[in-house]
Chains A and B, each alone.
Chain A
């Protein structure tokens, strides 16, 4: 159960809390640095959307296609998944593996509901004539929300993998540390959506710059 490390202290097996120069677990530090770098990625995509906002010369325009009540429900679903994720982390830290797996699965299901909603939204926009190359709005909107959807999908895959590894007993430290790391990623995806929902969907777009 316990590993002896360089200075003679012991640590529970697989906690990854071995001696580091910072005194912090390297994996967790790396995850926060990764998330900081993701701020730059999504910042660039959101800025590009804002730069070309209202610059489309042909429709459809945001007001023609957005269905705010529908997207609001999607936002609630993703927010709820953040809550279930933190409940999974709390269960993992109490070594309550059954509850941890249940909350992880619920989080993955909510994530899948969000992605399915996004696919439906994209399909419906496409039927209304908004495709990736239709206008500047289409290009910037699909790239931004598509990248976010891709991140959610990666998160779902990690959640399902984590659940199956936990079921098979292949996670060190009963999975507490791994669940916390994937939880950080999942919450980050949620905070990015908080910004996208406000900036892209809720803030009104000015009249199109028709020349």
Chain B
């Protein structure tokens, strides 16, 4: 009986530890708040498109808003802010490689001077 009780306690501890791995994650309310922020930024993007801004201003504004949305999803919805940093390193490595490589290609073909 004592063994069974001990095993039950141990099992509970393991399950608590397992669920505790997600203890730092945002709450449902925070997820909804981030979702609303993402929706708001999308509204801003569409508004900027119709706001008659100068081309350079519009491009910077749109890229800035997209970058904020991108970071919010990756950090909060994909939990990179809360998970082990090694996941972030792998992802940032691939993302940085892609951005650097393709920026070089775009610069070589003078896409930004058109």
Contact = CB atoms under 8 A, between A and B. Distances in A.
A33 interface: yes
A93 B77 contact: no
Interface stretch (A78-86, A145-153, A162-170): A78-86
Interface string B100-113: 01100110010100
A51 B70 CA distance: 23
B26 to A, nearest CB: 8
Main secondary structure of the interface of B (DSSP, over half): helix
A46 interface: yes
B90 A36 contact: yes
A206 interface: yes
A22 interface: yes
Counting contact residues on chain B (CB < 8 A from A), the size range is 35 or more
A197 B95 CA distance: 18
Contact of B19 (A39, A47, A93): A93
Contacts of A40: 94, 97-98, 101
B96 to A, nearest CB: 9
Interface in B59-90: 59, 62-63, 65-66, 69-70, 73-74, 76-78, 84, 86-87, 90
A2 B77 CA distance: 29
Contacts of B46: 68-69, 72, 202
Given A40-B101, A47-B105, A195-B66, 14 more contacts: A1-B11, A24-B86, A28-B87, A39-B91, A39-B98, A40-B94, A42-B98, A43-B98, A44-B102, A51-B109, A76-B42, A80-B35, A83-B32, A188-B78
Interface of A: 1-2, 10-12, 15, 17, 22, 24, 28-29, 32-33, 35-40, 42-44, 46-47, 50-51, 53-54, 68-69, 72, 75-76, 79-80, 82-83, 85-87, 90, 93-95, 183-184, 187-188, 190-191, 194-195, 197-199, 202-204, 206
Interface of B: 10-11, 14-15, 18-19, 22, 25, 28, 31-32, 34-35, 38-39, 42, 45-46, 48-49, 55, 58-59, 62-63, 65-66, 69-70, 73-74, 76-78, 84, 86-87, 90-91, 93-95, 97-99, 101-102, 105-106, 109, 111, 114
6 contacts: A1-B11, A42-B98, A50-B111, A86-B77, A191-B73, A203-B62
